[in-house]
Amino acid sequence: MAYDALELEIIDQEQREYIRVNDGDSVQDELVHFLKRTHDYQLAWVKVEGDKYVRYDRIASVAVRRGMDGS
């Protein structure tokens, strides 16, 4: 099933990381929380797909990705 996510570009890392948006939540709202560092983004570490964490200060850019393949 397709899903929306925030795509993160990490400093010194070629592979992108993704924050999957929960069903029923707005990807736009998730982006606002991410940029304002509210909700799950208050700490120095951000949880991404695959139960991994990246440091917030290592994130170079963020983009909205809609309809990602969930299979």
Q: Which two tokens stand for residue 3?
A: 């899903």
Region 54-64: mean pLDDT is 97
Chain Cα centroid distance, residue 15: 13
Region 24-49: mean pLDDT is 95
CB 19 within 8 A of CB 46: yes
Region 56-61: mean pLDDT is 96
How confident is residue 9, by pLDDT bands cut at 50, 70 and 90?
A: very high
Residue 71 confidence (pLDDT): 61
| 30 compared with 22, residue with greater pLDDT | 30
- Taking 80 as the threshold, does the pLDDT of residue 54 lie above it? yes
